[in-house]
């Protein structure tokens, strides 16, 4: 159909051409969506490939390095420790407070600090994704609202009516002129022209977004949060699976971990002994040079007025009885006719293996 009017108003585009243009535009948009979908599919397959690579790298490091991801106090470790104890070595279990944050007891359901760090990172990623999803859903609803408004207010009917008159007048005289006059007689045209344009067919008919998708999304996000929270346990499982397939390597790793903890304790012990000695030296010198002590020695009546600085304190960490939560243990060894006045809290006493560094100078005597 060609849209035209005799009244002078004309349209330069045919409806077919308009349709072609609309199709072309829609095709362009669909192509963009197709490209996005294509890229997403590829990215998903790449992420699967990345998981595969990560697993491979983990197994490789697990086999190659005894210290890699070797922080788990497993059933195997406990039996190894018991075996060592039977052979006359010091048992490393239970772990000390400072070690409990560093190593993971697989019997405990509680996640360790660094395991929780992984969970926090994962939760942040899920949260960002959730915000993205909310934006997309909102955009969907806003788009529906706008298109709906266009549909309601854009419904327009256009009626074009026009009247045209064609009168053929043959001028001249003679038989030919008379002949034409006879022919065109009655061809005078006096017809109306009317055309109606309905825009409703071109208007969008948006579908309301599928509301049931929202609970599905929420359920999926809850699952994702659950998976992220279980990531810490997943990491434990990763080691367990590797241990199942490589039991010999697992035994070597257990022995390595045992030795590592032992060495680090000996290192800590050495450091503590040095620290206690230097603290003791500092206290002794400060005490000798204290002004209040001099005043006390000069005047006995000031004894009650001056503050008493000789509080019961752990020689190593400086905690008092109340701070440590248990009474401090006094060292009662005698050295050169004098009784040692050093005192230690339970933790420091255990860390020093019950040996007072001020009374026993011999570091070689430390059990390793
Ligand atoms: Zn202490
Ligand atoms: Zn002592």
- Kindly report, residue by residue over 231-289, the tens digit of the pLDDT: 888 888 989 999 999 999 999 999 999 999 988 888 888 888 889 889 888 888 888 78
Ligand nearest to the CA of 352: 1
Tell me: pLDDT of 204 over 60. yes
Ligand nearest to the CA of 351: 1
- Comparing 60-69, 82-91, 190-199, 200-209, the range with the smallest average pLDDT is 190-199
How remote is the CA of residue 290 from the centroid of ligand 2, in Å? 23
- Comparing 3-17, 63-77, 81-95, 164-178, the range with the smallest average pLDDT is 3-17
Top pLDDT among 238 and 197 is at: 238
Tell me: pLDDT of 8 over 50. no
Take residue 57 and report the two structure tokens written for it. 């790298």
Nearest to 117 by CA among 228, 222, 239, 261: 228
Computed over every residue of the chain, the mean pLDDT equals: 82
How far is residue 247's CA from residue 138's CA, in Å, rounded to a whole number?
53
Q: Do residues 340 and 333 make contact, with C-beta atoms less than 8 angstroms apart?
A: yes
- 102-122 pLDDT tens trace: 898 888 888 888 888 888 888
Strand 329-330 versus strand 343-344 pairing type: antiparallel
Q: Do residues 258 and 80 make contact, with C-beta atoms less than 8 angstroms apart?
A: yes
3-state secondary structure of 313: coil
Say what the pLDDT of residue 363 is.
61
Residues with CB under 5 A from ligand 1 (ion): 314, 316-317, 345, 348
Half-sphere exposure of residue 68, counting CA atoms within 13 Å on the CB side? 16
Say what the pLDDT of residue 303 is.
67
How remote is the CA of residue 332 from the centroid of ligand 2, in Å? 6
Full DSSP string of 62-104: HHH-TTTT--EE-HHHHHHHHHHHHTTPPP-PSPPHHHHTTSE
Q: How far is CA 16 from the centre of its chain?
A: 53
Compute the average pLDDT of residues 208-218. 88
Tell me: pLDDT of 364 over 50. no
How remote is the CA of residue 347 from the centroid of ligand 1, in Å? 6
How remote is the CA of residue 362 from the centroid of ligand 2, in Å? 13
Top pLDDT among 219 and 169 is at: 219
How remote is the CA of residue 117 from the centroid of ligand 1, in Å? 29
Ligand nearest to the CA of 324: 1
- 9-46 pLDDT tens trace: 444 567 788 888 888 888 888 888 889 888 888 887 88
How far is residue 312's CA from residue 283's CA, in Å, rounded to a whole number?
13
Continuous segment of H or E residues that includes residue 153:
helix 113-153
The residues with which 98 forms a beta bridge, in sequence order, are none
- 293-309 pLDDT tens trace: 777 777 777 666 666 66
């Amino acid at each position: 159909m060609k849209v035209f009017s005799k009244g002078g108003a004309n349209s330069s585009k045919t409806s077919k051409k308009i349709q072609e243009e609309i199709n072309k535009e829609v095709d362009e948009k669909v192509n963009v969506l197709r490209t996005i979908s294509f890229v997403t599919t590829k990215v998903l397959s790449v992420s699967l490939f990345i998981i595969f690579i990560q697993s491979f790298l983990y197994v490789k490091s697990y086999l190659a390095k005894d210290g890699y991801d070797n922080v788990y106090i497993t059933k195997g470790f406990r039996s190894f420790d018991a075996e060592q104890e039977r052979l006359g070595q010091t048992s490393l279990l239970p772990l000390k407070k400072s070690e409990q944050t560093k190593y993971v007891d697989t019997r405990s359901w509680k996640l360790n600090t660094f395991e929780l760090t992984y969970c926090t990172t994962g939760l942040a990623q899920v949260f960002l994704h959730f915000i993205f999803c909310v934006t997309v859903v909102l955009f969907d609803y806003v788009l529906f609202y706008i298109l709906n408004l266009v549909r309601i207010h854009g419904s327009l009917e256009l009626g074009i009516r026009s009247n045209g008159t064609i009168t053929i007048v043959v001028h001249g005289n003679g038989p030919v002129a008379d002949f034409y006059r006879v022919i065109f007689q009655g061809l005078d045209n006096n017809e109306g022209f009317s055309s109606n344009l309905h825009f409703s067919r071109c208007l969008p008919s948006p579908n309301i977004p599928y509301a049931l998708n929202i609970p599905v999304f929420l359920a999926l996000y809850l699952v994702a949060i659950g998976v992220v929270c279980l990531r810490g346990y997943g990491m434990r499982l990763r080691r367990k699976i590797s241990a199942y397939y490589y039991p010999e390597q697992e035994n070597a790793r257990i022995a390595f971990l045992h030795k590592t903890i032992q060495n680090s304790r000996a290192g800590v012990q050495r450091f503590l002994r040095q620290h206690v000695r230097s603290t003791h030296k500092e206290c002794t010198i400060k005490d000798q040079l204290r002004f209040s002590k001099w005043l006390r020695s000069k005047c006995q009546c000031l004894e009650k007025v001056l503050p008493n600085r000789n509080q019961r304190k752990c020689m190593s960490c400086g905690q008092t009885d109340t701070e440590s939560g248990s009474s401090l243990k006094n060292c009662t060894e005698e050295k050169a006719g004098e009784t040692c006045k050093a005192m230690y809290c339970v933790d420091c006493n255990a860390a020093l293996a019950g040996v007072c560094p001020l009374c026993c100078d011999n570091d070689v005597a430390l059990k390793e």
